Amino acid sequence: MAPVLREMQGPVRFETRNDLMLESYCDDRHGFLRFEVSPSEIACEYLTVPRPHESWRAGPMLWDRFRLDRKTKTLT
């Protein structure tokens, strides 16, 4: 992972976008985002996967999630 990410401590606000904030991150595991989109909401989950030397039988593990209500524009 890039050294700059390892030095960051959350939450972090971005200079170019004051309305965005990084609250948590995982810099020691690979993973993927899963999005579910409906007319009323957008749900997102970040799942980590085992490292190459770990058993793959356990499968992905949930790291973080959020939901965006498209009508009220609120995150939960």
The pLDDT tens digits of the residues spanning 7-18 come to 556 688 888 888
- Kindly report the pTM of this predicted structure: 0.69
The mean-pLDDT minimum among 8-17, 51-60, 64-73 falls in 8-17
What pLDDT, on a 0 to 100 scale, did the predictor assign at position 7? Answer: 55
Which residue did the predictor score with more confidence, 24 or 46? Answer: 46
pLDDT(54) > 80: yes
Evaluated on CA atoms 20, 26, 29, 32, the torsion sign reads negative
What pLDDT, on a 0 to 100 scale, did the predictor assign at position 9? Answer: 66
CB 37 within 8 A of CB 15: no
Which residue type does 26 have? Answer: C
What pLDDT, on a 0 to 100 scale, did the predictor assign at position 70? Answer: 95
